[in-house]
Structure 1
Amino acid sequence: MPTASATVTAERAGVARRWGPRLLAALTGACLALAFPAVNAWWWAWFGLVPFLLLVAGAGTFREAGWRSWWASAGFFGTLHHWVLPFLGVFWPLAVLVIGLVWVPFGLVAYGLLRRVSPVRAGVALLVLPSVWVAVEALRSWQHLGGAWGLLGSSQWQVRPVLGLAALGGVWLLSFTLVAVNAGLALAVLPDAGRRARLAGGGAAVALAALAVCSGLVRPEPVVTGVMRVAGVQPGPVPGPERRVATHLRLTGELAGRDPDVVVWGQSSVGLDPAQRPDVDRLLRRAAAEVGADLLVNVDAADPSGRIAKAAYQYTPDGVVDTYVKQRLAPFGEYIPLRPVLGWIAGHTEAAEKDRITGAGLAVFEVAGRRVGPLISYESTFPDLRRGLARKGVDVTITQGSLTTFHGSWAHAQQASFEALRAVESGRPAVLVELDGTSAAFDARGGRLAWFPPEYRGAFVVDVPLSVEETPYVRLGDWVPALAGGIALGAGAAAAARRMSRSRNR
């Protein structure tokens, strides 16, 4: 009969066997988050999933594979989005619990495919695993769940040799390629895999990485059709709507004589309704006349009916000539989903006290003989909006942003990095001007034209080379998520059919 001390020792060993791999999985997820800004260890995304896949393959049961996947997901999103947690108040444990579920489907499929590997299963894994990953990324990118933030492919925003894949299939094709390479490398080192399976996995990983690099290297440079001088004003956090407008006007005045084609202010730069404040309207007109360029300001104020919309106003010396109202609002930051049920959350977090209203559709501004596609902050995360503007024939996209809530966090560099991806996807140069954050500009190939960090205060001018091309992604849309979803569903149906067949045979 075992002694009490032997029983305790065995229990402790069981706990170590169970929790050691789980904590290690959390560490692998946290390390993968370092591939994104602000750390920018982009190269880690090419093999950072391998340790996680090996941990899942050796889980022993689907239940344990699910637990390891949960811990890895919590580690990844908890690290990548750590700057959000302080603003969730008492709800941050619940948020971590939910985000830990994101990787569970991928982990369960990985366990099913990698626990017993044959050459055929290796080939299936190379196709199914990236498909499941992309399908989940597409689902969690729904605007009411936080948007397309933290997609694996976006970690490659500054790697121009592979960034060209985004022109073919959007950020989704980058994610698919990265996961396929990670799956191939995992197969190559999996202890239980046979020699043929290892060769197949390693060979596929090398071939896919080489193809990704070559696709970017052979892509020709676009034909430049002109240059647009875009000026931005980045004052940083300025308390009070009156002082904020005054600071923007002062900095805009410094641009006189520098011949900008347009002057852009960030999100919520005007916290007063010009329709109700004739003095503010006159000041904005005068600023446009003095600098000799249209102003793109952003109004975030209640109208006479009490409704609030975040809207881009195009100002000339004659007044407002066009407007665009933000369509996609940040959940909880700009509205509370199901407010009648969840409205009480505002009293315990930084959630919006009053919902903003949404716009009806995209707009195109005619500015200095050019067609400008305006977007506002959170909307920069969505590939389809930029694709829609490209289809409308814009020459450049301009995003007005502000990350005052997350001042000094990784959020600044992460949002600025989206512009490189969106430029390549749409085939149009992209400019981001932040009230407080990182302002940036990129050409149509994702080449950096400007980068003004959060601590920058002042006005700047960027010469943006214009080039218009219709990328395959603009023409075809989200074909990669659609194909990935079909592959994932087909694989699931095939697995279910095999299980039913085995049950009948028994």
Structure 2
Amino acid sequence: MDRLKALGRVLPRVAVAIGAGALLGLAFEPHDHPWLTIIAVPLFLAALNGASAKAGFLIGAGFGITYYAVLVPWLTVIGGDAAIALAILEGLFYAVFGLFATQVLKLKLWMLWIPCLWVATEFAAASIPFGGFPWGRLAWALSDSPVGRLASFVGIPGLSFVVALLGVLVYAVLRLESSMRLRIVALVAGVAIVGGSSLITLSTEGNGKTVTAAMVQGNVPGKGLEFLGRARTVTRNHLAATLDLQKRVEEGTEAKPDVVIWPENSTDIDPFQDPETKADIEEAVKAVGVPILVGAVLDGPGPNERQTTGVVWDPASGPGQIYAKRHPVPFGEYIPFRDQLLPYIKRLEMIGRQTAPGKVPGVMPIRGVTYGDVICFELAYDNVISDVVKGGAQVLVVQTNNATYGGTGQPEQQFAITRMRAIETGRTVLIASTSGISGVIQPTGKVEHKSGQFVRDVYVANVPIRDTETLAIKLGGWPQWILTGLGILGIVLALVARRRRREDGPEAPPAPTRSREKVPA
């Protein structure tokens, strides 16, 4: 009976947390309601406040699972079971957050510890297992918000801290236990953060030089890449689009590019092994007369392995520098525990050969300009971006293939993440996709060009070359490490305080006073 009563008390809190998780999912593309972040966070905290640690785990699980179910429904293209498994896995990180947050909320400085704990949760989710999945960070929702400009100074982890802090400040204003003084402080702090952010002006100026680049979206016959004939069609689509670009250049209706960018999987057949594919690429390169950065799947380096790469193909010297994707997608490009899982999950056989990760950053010097090549999902990983910019990248390039997820909202989410990377790094980002979304994003996060999906699109842009590093790049991973450390410190202090409360126990009532009786002689 006691357990049923306890469950009855927890379930309304779980329901509130589920609602908060759904609202947070709607803050992101393709729904794009970033203001919901500062409603969802305080609603989640309200559900946790006053709950036990065990209840906090259930409340956090309800929040996290719902959040990811709304955020990444596009994974159902792979399978409903895959989408459910990912939502549960990522939801467990917020279950742990909820467990500890119930205790951290009792601390005097809870307004500091809670957003730090949020950053620690995002850091854990972005790191484990199998390299993590950093798709659900609060910062990604802010590409159109003035607050998003702070990413140039504090990076993506620091921006997530600011967003969580704004949610905490809203909660502090509405929390019943808050004093009037605390409410005023929270309100002033929130207004100062939002108002101060709107005053930030980000520069688009380069080092005085520019480069003209062409992004080629050749389109695909359908969703995904399946058979050899289809792969050849994709390559020839990009060849045809490139030849058409050169025709317009010769007619004088288009500027001649210094470099042409083809997307990830623009050839799904190794051009070093297949003469027909190699001939298609060389025809395109000789036609435009400038290097093409080709997205190619190469055989090796080991048996039954492949690599997703960007290959610089020069019209005079042929193929040169190669960047191999450093962060392939688990269960999408390779199978962890392959030998153990394949006998039980036959669908995994569709993945084919294991994708071997590259070892070095995609720093690609091409005719006097240094490009930072990033391939598809790995743009969500901080170290991949930091390494290319610190390696000297003056312009960022994203080669991607979103054909499998076309029309699901995933391409829009990835485009928003790319916009935040432009702000964080202060670099122009050139995006080439097989089927969309391709485009050009300025260093301020402003969209210069955005293609449609499942259409041919060729866009030529003249963009600034930039050498200066933003404060976010200079700081590197320090904001994330410091904020995560503070989050862990908050947990330790909360657990120590909890132990002291248990040891002290309930305060004993004062003993009644007795009058001293006079003893007769």
Write the distance in 1 (CA, Å) between the matches of 2:213 and 2:203: 25
Write the distance in 1 (CA, Å) between the matches of 2:124 and 2:405: 25
The TM-score with structure 2 as length reference comes to 0.87
Partner-residue secondary structure (3-state), 1:83: helix
For the pair shown, the structure with the greater C-alpha radius of gyration is 2
Write the distance in 2 (CA, Å) between the matches of 1:414 and 1:139: 21
Is 1:184 equivalent to 2:166 in the alignment? no
**Number of residue pairs the alignment of both structures matches:** 488
CA contact (8 A) 1:52 1:72 kept: yes
Judged with a 3 Å threshold, the aligned counterparts in structure 2 of structure 1 residues 373 and 477 are, in CA distance, closer, same or farther, namely same
Counterpart for residue 309 of structure 1: 307
Write the distance in 1 (CA, Å) between the matches of 2:48 and 2:372: 45
Is 1:226 equivalent to 2:209 in the alignment? yes
Is 1:129 equivalent to 2:127 in the alignment? no
Write the distance in 1 (CA, Å) between the matches of 2:39 and 2:116: 17
Write the distance in 1 (CA, Å) between the matches of 2:383 and 2:154: 12
Write the distance in 1 (CA, Å) between the matches of 2:3 and 2:498: 35
CA contact (8 A) 1:427 1:468 kept: no
CA contact (8 A) 1:333 1:351 kept: no
CA contact (8 A) 2:307 2:325 kept: yes
Query: 1:474 Cα deviation (Å)?
Result: 1.6
CA contact (8 A) 1:429 1:441 kept: yes
Judged with a 3 Å threshold, the aligned counterparts in structure 2 of structure 1 residues 390 and 41 are, in CA distance, closer, same or farther, namely same
Write the distance in 1 (CA, Å) between the matches of 2:492 and 2:410: 39
Is 1:206 equivalent to 2:191 in the alignment? yes
- Residue of 45, 52, 57 corresponding to 2:37: 45
Write the distance in 2 (CA, Å) between the matches of 1:77 and 1:494: 30
Mapping for residues 70-219 of structure 1, pairs under 5 Å = 70-114=61-105, 121=108, 124-142=109-127, 144-159=130-145, 161-214=146-199, 216-217=200-201, 219=202
Counterpart for residue 271 of structure 1: 268
Judged with a 3 Å threshold, the aligned counterparts in structure 2 of structure 1 residues 140 and 25 are, in CA distance, closer, same or farther, namely same
The aligned amino acid for 1:358 is P
Is 1:332 equivalent to 2:343 in the alignment? no
Write the distance in 2 (CA, Å) between the matches of 1:348 and 1:278: 31
Farther off after superposition, 452-461 or 307-316: 452-461
Judged with a 3 Å threshold, the aligned counterparts in structure 2 of structure 1 residues 351 and 422 are, in CA distance, closer, same or farther, namely farther
Runs of 4+ in structure 1 deviating by more than 6 angstroms, as ranges, are 10-16
CA contact (8 A) 1:387 1:425 kept: no
Mapping for residues 245-264 of structure 1, pairs under 5 Å = 245-256=235-246, 257=249, 258=254, 259-264=256-261
The aligned amino acid for 1:368 is R
Write the distance in 2 (CA, Å) between the matches of 1:497 and 1:335: 43
The aligned amino acid for 1:462 is A
Write the distance in 1 (CA, Å) between the matches of 2:271 and 2:7: 64
Write the distance in 1 (CA, Å) between the matches of 2:446 and 2:437: 16
Counterpart for residue 297 of structure 2: 300
CA contact (8 A) 1:106 1:129 kept: no
Partner-residue secondary structure (3-state), 2:431: strand
Query: 1:271 Cα deviation (Å)?
Result: 1.8
The aligned amino acid for 2:307 is A
CA contact (8 A) 2:363 2:370 kept: yes
Query: 1:499 Cα deviation (Å)?
Result: 3.8
Farther off after superposition, 468-477 or 42-51: 42-51
The TM-score with structure 1 as length reference comes to 0.89
Query: 1:454 Cα deviation (Å)?
Result: 1.5
Write the distance in 2 (CA, Å) between the matches of 1:79 and 1:460: 33
CA contact (8 A) 1:134 1:176 kept: yes
Query: 1:498 Cα deviation (Å)?
Result: 3.2
Identity score, percent? 24
Write the distance in 2 (CA, Å) between the matches of 1:180 and 1:469: 29
Write the distance in 2 (CA, Å) between the matches of 1:25 and 1:303: 47
Counterpart for residue 468 of structure 2: 469
**Could you list the per-position Cα deviations for residues 146-171 of structure 1 after superposition, in whole angstroms to 9, with x for gaps in the alignment?**
43212101111122x32331122211
The aligned amino acid for 1:231 is A
Counterpart for residue 11 of structure 2: 19
Farther off after superposition, 80-89 or 432-441: 80-89
Counterpart for residue 512 of structure 2: none
Farther off after superposition, 496-505 or 203-212: 496-505
- Structure 2 residue ranges without an equivalent (≥5): 506-521
Counterpart for residue 441 of structure 1: 440
Partner-residue secondary structure (3-state), 1:64: helix
Counterpart for residue 517 of structure 2: none
Partner-residue secondary structure (3-state), 2:342: helix
Query: 1:18 Cα deviation (Å)?
Result: 4.3
Partner-residue secondary structure (3-state), 1:35: coil
Counterpart for residue 393 of structure 2: 394
Write the distance in 2 (CA, Å) between the matches of 1:91 and 1:227: 44
- Structure 1 residue ranges without an equivalent (≥5): 1-6
